[in-house]
Structure 1
Amino acid sequence: TIQADGGLNEADIKKMMDDAEANAGADKARRELVEAKNHAEALVHQTEKQVEEHGDKVGDAVKDEIAKAVEELKAARETDNIADIQAKHQALMSAAMKLGEAIYASQQEATAHADAARDAAADEGGDDVVDADFEEVDDKH
């Protein structure tokens, strides 16, 4: 909001308000571009970290696909083409999902193995516990 307390006349105020309205669209477009670039940078960082930590869970073809998508998104980030940045962002998300699926499958497999090992140990009866029935006998009578 522009208000007239600084000694501006009505014409100056009107011009400033018109300029602000005229630039509102450009400001919005610039904000969207900056947000798209920030989202792209975050996705690149997150994906590279996941590949580093969990890359052994997927084949080379998936890692190559992810690496290519990362490089394409990095290149798109250097431009001001928001549509290209968003398209490359989506492509990297699709490629990274394959890694996410592999991580999830690996965790499920590890959980299943741990459950099976725990059940096997319980079945072995390593505690030497014996169930028995008993009656209390009152020796005072």
Structure 2
Amino acid sequence: IHVLQGERKMAQHNVTLGRFQLTGIPSAPRGVPQVEVTFDIDVNGIVHVAAKDLATSKEQKITITSSSGLSDDEIEKMVQDAEKFAEEDEIRLKEIETRNNADSMIYQADKTLKEFADKIDEETKGKIETAKEELNQALQGDDMADIEAKTEALTEAVYAFTAKMYENINQQEQEPGSDEVFDADYNIPDDDK
């Protein structure tokens, strides 16, 4: 856990106050672990930070007693820089989110292809693979609109497959059974004899 002080949207433009690790949590696929981080600043300016894994309830804490060493003028400059670079930071943040969304969709597509390999036809698999490759190519460049469009195309290809798969499952569950009724005689053995 990296604790920072500053007004900028990008961590690299802020000041590090402290770092600590949340240990003892099991390995899990990305996006699965949920970590709750709480910050408490007391009247003396001491920062208490706690991170807790919600699945295991494992918790680590850090107390940051020394200030960052920033003067009032330096803090004011940081605030002014945040205002000055707000638009650039917003653009950079959007680029990072776009790339992260693309990476997540590629991961989801790979997971879907692996998990449902026995249920996916070659045509659908080909559409997903093609969309995935086109997105990987787009990620090599800096055209955010292209990356967003290719991410959407891959999303649609994967969701079209999963929707079709669930539709088939629902149809199988709703197929009417036979109205034929069978009468049967049976005896329950008496264990007391």
TM-score bucket (shorter structure): 0.5 to 0.7
The alignment status of 1:26 with 2:88, answered yes or no, reads: yes
Higher helix share: 1
Matched AA of 1:104: Y
What is the CA–CA distance in structure 1 between the aligned matches of 2:75 and 2:103, rounded to whole Å?
A: 40
SS at match of 1:124: coil
Alignment of 1:95-110 (within 5 A): 95-110=157-172
Q: Deviations over 1:25-77 (max 9, x none)?
A: 11111111111111111111111111222244343222111101111112223
2:114 corresponds to which of 33, 52, 66: 52
Task: Structure 1 unaligned segments of length 5 or more: list them.
Answer: 130-141
What is the CA–CA distance in structure 1 between the aligned matches of 2:117 and 2:72, rounded to whole Å?
A: 64
What is the CA–CA distance in structure 2 between the aligned matches of 1:109 and 1:7, rounded to whole Å?
A: 68
Alignment of 1:1-141 (within 5 A): 6=71, 8=73, 16-113=78-175, 116=177, 120=178, 123-128=180-185
Task: Structure 2 unaligned segments of length 5 or more: list them.
Answer: 1-5, 8-69, 187-193
Q: Is the 8 A contact 1:58 1:102 kept in 2?
A: no
Structure 1 stretch 40-49 or stretch 14-23: which is displaced more? 14-23
Q: CA deviation at 1:17?
A: 4.5
**TM-score, normalising length: structure 1:** 0.66
1:35/1:127 CA distance change after superposition, 3 Å: farther
Q: Is the 8 A contact 1:54 1:103 kept in 2?
A: no
Structure 1 stretch 44-53 or stretch 23-32: which is displaced more? 44-53
Q: Is the 8 A contact 1:69 1:95 kept in 2?
A: yes
Q: Is the 8 A contact 1:36 1:85 kept in 2?
A: yes
Q: Is the 8 A contact 1:40 1:89 kept in 2?
A: yes
Identity of aligned residues (%): 29
| Alignment match, 1:135 | none
SS at match of 1:25: helix
Instruction: Report the structure number with the largest CA radius of gyration.
Output: 1
CA RMSD, Structure 1 to Structure 2 (Å): 2.9
Q: How many residues align?
A: 119
What is the CA–CA distance in structure 1 between the aligned matches of 2:115 and 2:76, rounded to whole Å?
A: 58
